[in-house]
Chains A and B, each alone.
Chain A
Amino acid sequence: MEKAFAALGEYLLLMYAAISKPEKARMYWLETMRQCYNIGVGSLPIIAIISLFMGAVTAVQFAYQLKSLNLVPMWWIGAIVRKSMILELAPTLSALLLAGKVGSNIAGELGTMRISEQIDAYEIMGVNTSSYLIAPKVMGAVFMFPMLVVISVFLGVLGGLLAGMLGGFYTSTEYVRGVQDAMKSYDLFIMFIKSVLFAFIIASIACYKGYTVKGGAVEIGDASTQAVVQSSVAVIIVNFLVAFLLL
């Protein structure tokens, strides 16, 4: 327990150090753009594939159950897929995916830089490493993840349409009617809140784990694993808290 609090304190101090004034704003801007590209464009293919099939599976599952009950019209599936994607599936599953892909990547990269003395090299040059190496990664994730989630929602809804049409559950007109029905902007607000929180959690935990690695190759592997596991658990807990407090 004492160890966990010490780690939490160390994490908070590192995050505080990461928001200090940059030595040269242009260099931080360039690094942030590089991270935006790596995190955003690099994660797009996997997010696209997963989202398309997530929407498709949601549509097929609900169609199968609603058809057997025959209580509600099938165009409702459009609304169900949309709402599921916006409120839960797109932000949460994309976050878990991102924790695996981006989280392990950041922890591995920073861990390797720590072990191979590259972080020391920055320090000796006079660079504030906690700021230069962490802030752009966290900002890149916070900036790009909501965009990825929006794309995920769009593709999920598209997946639902294609799956339903292929299965002959509904027509495209019926599905689109459902998607457009009773759309609430508050749902989108929740989605963006979740996206920003999840992005911060994933990137900051991964940065902390990588930046504070001590040892060698085995410890870098451990740090990557811990970054994925701990950020995934944190995402699930925060997901519950957001749902509990804001819905």
Chain B
Amino acid sequence: MIEMIDLKKSFGSQQVLKGITATFETGKCNLIIGKSGSGKTVTLKCLVGLFDQDEGSILYDGRDTGKMDFNTRKSIRQEFGMLFQGTALFDSMTVEENIRFPLDMFTSKSDSEKADRVNFCLKRVNMTGTNKKFPSELSGGMKKRVGIARAIVNNPKYLFCDEPNSGLDPKTSLVVDELIQEITQEYNMTTVINTHDMNSVMGFGDKVIFLHEGFKYWEGTKEEILQITSGELFDFIFASDFLKDLRLRAKY
């Protein structure tokens, strides 16, 4: 479980996060949604430690990162897996080398054990046989799946996904969403997903947090989100063609 307590973050005179408190539960897909500029990415970057919050605390299963020394904070990152918006695969490495890198760097596994683990992860994301390919030889959806394989190779306790569907067609988006959901339940991870894709919200939004102008505006489940009838969240939801269509069908 990850707890975020009164998180504040500013860049110069612009306050981006204005005191966000939220809990992300283990074994669930926790979604952060909101318009562009609402603070989703900054929140995620604070969670993974790429940005230091100005005020507030982040607790990973009760461990407060603010009270940790540099080395402990760094070592806790070995419990993280992250899927980046642009996948961030190391382009000078093959698919196999990309996935194996965390094992090479942080474990003392033998070469055969590492190879087995890499092949297992590739099989898990339906990418068997792509070991020797370079990221530039893969499609967007394939890159995302390799990104997921790299994120889970070291058995992380926490999985972070930044816009996992961006740049993907609806069918491939669904495949990626399902994969993240399955993996979260299979490994009992705390998964935090940053998205503005309402298909994802309705697909696997166990817990949804809506950010608006740096504040937590709403919190609930995918079922509860459809009960909203007005306000910023309503405007955000029905800006999506998918749900607008659903709404019209329900009406007539």
Within 8 Å of chain A (Cβ to Cβ): is B82?
yes
Within 8 Å of chain B (Cβ to Cβ): is A118?
yes
Residues of B within 8 A of A (CB): 48-50, 74-78, 80, 82, 84-86, 88-91, 101-102, 104-106, 154, 160
Within 8 Å of chain B (Cβ to Cβ): is A23?
yes
Quick one: given A116-B88, A117-B86, A118-B88, are A124 and B105 in contact (CB under 8 Å)?
A: no
User: Which of A71-79, A125-133, A151-159 interfaces with chain B?
Assistant: A125-133
Contacts of A124 in B (CB 8 A): 48-50, 77, 80, 82, 160
Q: Which residue of B lies closest to A109 (CB)?
A: B92
Contacts of A128 in B (CB 8 A): 74
CB-contact partner of A120 in B50, B74, B104, under 8 A: B50
Contact A125 B78 (CB under 8 A): yes
Within 8 Å of chain B (Cβ to Cβ): is A181?
no
Contact A127 B84 (CB under 8 A): no
Contact B77 A121 (CB under 8 A): no
Q: Number of A residues whose C-beta is below 8 Å from B?
A: 14
Would you list the 5 A-B pairs with minimal beta carbon distance, nearest first? A126-B77, A117-B88, A121-B88, A126-B78, A124-B82
Residues of A within 8 A of B (CB): 23-24, 27, 116-118, 120-121, 123-128
Q: How far is the CB of A113 from chain B (nearest CB, A)?
A: 8
Q: How far is the CB of B37 from chain A (nearest CB, A)?
A: 18
CA distance A123 to B76 in the complex (A): 11
Contact B101 A125 (CB under 8 A): yes
Contacts of A126 in B (CB 8 A): 74-78, 80, 105-106
CA distance A120 to B75 in the complex (A): 15
| 21 A–B contacts, CB within 8 A, in A order | A23-B105, A23-B106, A24-B104, A24-B105, A27-B105, A116-B86, A117-B85, A117-B88, A118-B88, A120-B50, A121-B82, A121-B84, A123-B77, A124-B49, A124-B50, A124-B82, A125-B77, A125-B78, A125-B80, A126-B78, A126-B80
Q: Which residue of A lies closest to B80 (CB)?
A: A124
Q: How far is the CB of B50 from chain A (nearest CB, A)?
A: 6
Contact A120 B105 (CB under 8 A): no
CA distance A123 to B82 in the complex (A): 11
CA distance A121 to B74 in the complex (A): 13
Contact B88 A125 (CB under 8 A): no
CA distance A59 to B101 in the complex (A): 52
Contacts of A125 in B (CB 8 A): 77-78, 80, 101-102, 105-106, 154
Contacts of A120 in B (CB 8 A): 50, 84, 88
Contact B91 A127 (CB under 8 A): no
Contacts A120-B84, A125-B80, A126-B106 given; 7 further ones with Cβ under 8 A? A27-B105, A118-B91, A120-B50, A124-B48, A124-B49, A125-B78, A125-B102
